[in-house]
Each structure stands twice: as structure tokens, then as C-alpha cells.
Amino acid sequence: MRTGRNQAPVPVVPTGFTGQDFPGLRESRTLANCDPADPDNANFNTTVIDVGPGAAITSLANVPWESLSPHTMVRVLPKSTPYNERIFIVTSDIKVCGVRDANGARPKINGIGARVRNSSALQSLIGTPAEEYSTVNRGIVAIARDSGIRNIAVEGLNLTGAMLPPYSGASHAAGYIGMDNLSHLYNTHTGCLYVSRAQNVTLRDNEFAFCPVGVYVISRGLDYGGDHYLTRNFLLEANWFHDNGLVDDYNVHQAYIQGVNFVVQYNYFGNPIRYDIDGSGTIDNDEASNGNDLKMRTVGELVRYNYFENGAHTIDLIDIEDFRPSVFPWFFNLLADQSPGSVTPALRAQMERDWEKYDAGSYMYGNIFRRDSKVHVQTMGASMVHFGSDNSPIDGRRGKLWFYFNTVLTELNKNTSAGAATLFSCCLDNANSWDFYDGHLVLDANNVDFHMIANGKDYGVIRRRTPEAFWGRYVAVNNAVQVTSATGTLTNAQPFHWNTYKGEQIELRRNFVTNNWNQPLWGGYPTPGYGDNEVELDEFTYPGANVAHHVTGAANLLTGGSLALSATTATPLVGSALCNQAVAWTDDIPAAVRPNYQVRLQDNGAGGWTPGVLVVTARTAHTTLGANQCN
């Protein structure tokens, strides 16, 4: 960073995204709040509309969504049967809030055969069924408007049903009832909740199930028509995801999000969809979704205090795609040259802030990860955290992933697949940036520096083939990893690998892992515990990356020959080897991104835990390895 054009650089500690540009961000968990008198609802209390039994409006389809005035709260009242209408939020300053019943159940909205409100004014905003990608085809609840909308909250709803059995990539189509009273098909990648072009959005305390995508958030860049096409400032908090995705389809996920400034906290990601397609009476491991729990094409993200089960990549934190001119300086400057009227000094300053976040790296802490026998067989060797790229290595994640005070449970029998239970992965081994730069990408004669040259103008160095600029750099500190078999024993457990590719650079500080972690996959395996894959396209990695693994600090690992964590709650056992073993904070992890809370699962008293429930307590000390402090 520079403080002036002609002044020397001022050294700073990059902090990535710590909430500095997110309005009203709170670290503590909050749940659905439908009380108009509560100060938290000050932006939504001018008009209150109740919908449901006993109210003046009994059907969601009768709410005038197209003409709601700003500062309106629509309260969805408890109902003994599911609502079967859809919600379209197309005006700003709107909150839709589900009021739980006496048993604590959220109001349910079933998307199968759900009716769309009959309104020509609404249709002009959401499109028609004849347009495959129009909003009317995309979600049970949809937040979208081409002119951009702001300040939206959806809380306390149970959204389910935008696909049908057998939930496969080839056969899952489901329909809704349009304004013409006819049945129409949803888009094949419909979300339970779909967001396009909205800013300052909160999704809190909802349940998302049985949709190709649980939450689907898209963004477009300045080249699309303005900053309002980019989804910005998004809080995904305390939601329950389960049974989303498609069997044998890796292109849909429990949550897919694009945009700038995303906080994902206190969510419970249960297992993605599984289904007995062949009717054998059992669900085979190839009859499970091989999509991700959480796929993020984001800038300025924070992922903390969540629980994740399985997923091909549990978290897929990769290159941005549809809004590169809003964030990458070289594309921004190209747009400024081609269309000067589309950029302003304020937009340039915003781009520079967002680019700094992307360039700085990411923080991920206080989460619980579980990988067990319900995972798709082809993904048992896939990573839990993918941090890099799957389109363009040149555009892949910058900086380091700081991964700390997380708990990882792997519960897989040995030889259930050819791979290991793997924590980190950087990229696809065949990703090709040339395809994403339309002939404008040039590798200098020095064979190190990539430039973008368009219309005869060199937009400067955009990536370097050096270890310092290579994607897939991680720092792991104060985490707890327990490697067991499917029955919870240390014997016969699937091996654990820290990474996938030789070129990934991992700095291991103090972490705990059970001492069965580095068993060879087979006799003579060359680097037990570390990934041995090579990046196929050599020009997109640094010299020497494929020669040997680049994991350092293995001597810092704390290993143990007994269980340290409860498989039920994911908390330390009494006398656990995790207690009093954490190393002290260093300045490279700022105070703003150090955990003040902890989450655990709720013991159900029958040898398991309660699905969808996270128990949250304050974390007042940081002496225990993993997501929870020893008592």
C-alpha cells in the first residue's frame, strides 16, 4: 500500500477480510427475529404484513411482492401443512421472516408444484418460463432485480423441494405452477434460495433441503452494467443445509456463492443428497452427491464456527469468475480503456480495496469437519478444503490460507478408495488459463512473468512463476485431526494426507494428529502423509514444484496413540492430549480474526448427535488445539 503517489511503500500486515467493509457485522450468533419492535428490525418495521392462518392474507402468492414498499417485514406464520407458493423479493429494504410454531418448527415452503403470483408487473421483473435462465425458473425464494436491490433479510424458513427422485444429474426435474396456471420446469440447477444482483443480504436460521443447490448466489461485474450487478455484503448465518446437490453430478452444491464480502458462520452443513438409484435396498457410495458443501467464488470472505459433513470438497474456495473486471486491476483498466464512462474514481477505489482483500489471503477458523462413509466413493481422496483454482490458475487464490483452531474428524475404513482422506488441495491438474484470457495472456521471455496484452497495450505483470506467487499456500496451526475407521478405532483407518499436490506449500506449526495418519496408501508409497500429485501444465507452476513435496514443520506435529475427540460432539475427551498444547498467537493472525466463540454438536443421548443443531458458547481461552477449549 502507498500513502501517496511519490512516497515509498508502507509495510503492512495484510488482514484479508475482517469485516471492515461489512455493515453491522457481529461475531456472535443471532437467530431469526420476527419482532418488529426489536431494535435489530429498525429497517423493517414501517409496514408489517402477516401471512398464514388467521391473517388477512393467507397465501404467499397473494402478497404484492412487486410493489412492497421499503422497510417492510413479511411474517410467515406457522401452518400445519407446507405453504406451496413461491416468494420473489424484488424491492429493497425487505425482510421475510418465518415465525416458529409451538414445537419450534420453522414454516415450511415446498417448491414442488408451488404457485407463482399472477401479476404482469411481477412478470416484468422475474421473466417468463420460456427463458431458461429467468428468475421465475430459479428458486423457491428468489432475490433479484436488474436495477439492483439492497438490505434484504430472509430468516426462519424451511425451504425444501426443487427436485424429484432419483435426484440424479440425468433425472431430477421438478416443476412449479406459473402465472398461466400451467406446470413449468425449474432450471436444472435451481436453488432453494436464489440470489442475483443484491447487496447487504442476510440469510439466517433457515433450513435448505432437497434442492439441486441449497443457496445459489451469482454476481456480475462492472462490464455487465454497473456495480449493482455484483452481490456484495452477504451474511450466511446459522442455517441448516442437508440433502442438497445431485447424485453423480459435481456441478451443483449445497451452497454456491459469488461476490464480495461474504461471512459464513454458525451454519450446519449436513450430508449432501444420497439416494438408492438402483433400488438395491442400500445406498452405495456411488449413489451420493459429489458436489461440495460450500463453493465460494468470493472476495473478502470469512468462514468460521461452522460444521461440515462430507462433500467432494467440503469447502471450495477458488478463483472468481463472472466479475473479474470489478476486482482484478488489469481487467478494470482494460474496461476503463474500452468504456471510460463505465468507471469512476469511486469505483476504482473500491476495486483497489477488493483487490487487496483477494491478494491478502483468507482466514478459516473454529470449524468442525467430518468425513465419513457417506461420502461419494470417488471423492474419498478429494480434499476437505480446496484453495486455489478450477478455471484459471492465473486467477487462482492469492496469498495464504490461514487455517487454525479447526477440528477434523475422518471416519473411513482403509482401502475404501485409492486415495486418502485429504485436507488441502490447490487446483485442478489440467486447468488452463490460456482459455480464460482470449489470447491476451503472454508468458515473458524470462519464463517467469505472465502479462495481459490486449489491443497492443501491456497491462503489466499479473502473476509470477515463483513459490511466493504460486496458489496453494497454507499455514496450519492449533488444529486437531483425529483419524479413525468407520467404527471409531485407530486401526484399519483410511490414511490422512495434509495435501494433494507436491507443489502446494504447507507450513505446519503446532497441530495434533493421531499417530496413524501417515500410513502408506500401498507398499512403497514415496511420501506418506503428503500429496504426490503433479500439476500437468508445467507453465502454470513454479520450477521445482513437481520434484518433491513442499510441506515443512512436520516436526512440530503433536501425535497421539489414543482418541482425543468425542465422535459425538467433536469436543475434547476428558484428559485429551489436545489440552494445554496450543502455541501462542503471532502477529500474522490479527486480533480481529481470533475466535471468541466455539461450536459443538449436541449429544442426542443415543450414541449420536442432533442433526441441524450447533451449541454455541464463548471461547475465553486459546490453549486447546481444535475448535473447542478443554473444560
Q: What confidence tens digit (pLDDT) does each residue in 219-258 have?
A: 999 999 899 999 999 999 999 999 999 998 888 999 999 9
Q: Give the integer Cα–Cα distance in Å for 476 and 462.
A: 27
Q: What is the pLDDT of residues 498-517, one digit of tens each?
A: 999 999 999 999 999 999 99
* Average pLDDT of the segment spanning 458-468: 95
* Average pLDDT of the segment spanning 546-551: 93
Residue 527 has pLDDT above 70, yes or no: no
Q: Which pLDDT belongs to residue 418? A: 59
To the nearest 10°, report the CA torsion of 372, 373, 376, 378.
Answer: 90
Q: Which pLDDT belongs to residue 336? A: 97
Q: Which pLDDT belongs to residue 344? A: 96
Helix 329-338 crosses helix 345-360 at what angle (to 10 degrees)? 160
User: E-strand spans in 156-238?
Assistant: 158-160, 175-177, 183-185, 191-204, 207-209, 213-218, 232-237
Q: Which pLDDT belongs to residue 324? A: 96
Residue 11 has pLDDT above 50, yes or no: no
Residue 10 has pLDDT above 90, yes or no: no
* Burial environment of residue 170 by CB neighbours within 10 A (0 to 12, 13 to 18, 19 or more): exposed
Residue 415 has pLDDT above 90, yes or no: no
Residue 455 pLDDT class (50, 70, 90 cuts): very high
Residue 526 pLDDT class (50, 70, 90 cuts): low
Please report, for residues 8, 102, 378, 461, the alpha-carbon distance to residue 5 in angstroms, rounded to integers and kept in the order given: 9, 63, 53, 19
Q: What is the pLDDT of residues 477-491, one digit of tens each?
A: 999 999 999 999 999
Residue 553 has pLDDT above 50, yes or no: yes
Residue 453 pLDDT class (50, 70, 90 cuts): very high
Residue 9 pLDDT class (50, 70, 90 cuts): very low
| Contact in structure between 192 and 208 (CB atoms under 8 Å) | yes
Residue 4 has pLDDT above 50, yes or no: no
Q: Which pLDDT belongs to residue 463? A: 95
Nearby residues of 336 by Cβ (< 8 Å), 6 or more positions away:
342, 343, 348
> Mean pLDDT highest for which of 10-14, 19-23, 34-38?
34-38
Q: What is the pLDDT of residues 330-385, one digit of tens each?
A: 999 999 999 999 999 999 999 999 999 999 999 999 999 999 989 887 665 589 99
Which residue do the cell numbers 436460521 mark? 205
Q: Which pLDDT belongs to residue 376? A: 85
* Average pLDDT of the segment spanning 57-80: 98
Q: Say which range, 159-173, 290-304, 520-534, has the weakest mean pLDDT.
A: 520-534
3-state class of 359 per DSSP?
Answer: helix
* Average pLDDT of the segment spanning 605-618: 97
Q: Give the integer Cα–Cα distance in Å for 325 and 291.
A: 28
Nearby residues of 434 by Cβ (< 8 Å), 6 or more positions away:
441
Higher pLDDT, 104 or 14: 104
Instruction: Answer yes or no: pTM beyond 0.85.
Output: yes
Residue 313 has pLDDT above 60, yes or no: yes
Residue 22 pLDDT class (50, 70, 90 cuts): confident
Residue 147 pLDDT class (50, 70, 90 cuts): confident
Kindly report the average pLDDT of the chain as a whole number. 93
Residue 423 has pLDDT above 60, yes or no: yes
Please report, for residues 88, 214, 377, 535, 548, the alpha-carbon distance to residue 283 in angstroms, rounded to integers and kept in the order given: 36, 22, 11, 34, 39
| Number of other CB atoms surrounding residue 558 within 10 Å | 16
Q: Which pLDDT belongs to residue 3? A: 29
Residue 8 pLDDT class (50, 70, 90 cuts): very low
Q: Which pLDDT belongs to residue 381? A: 59
* Average pLDDT of the segment spanning 153-182: 96
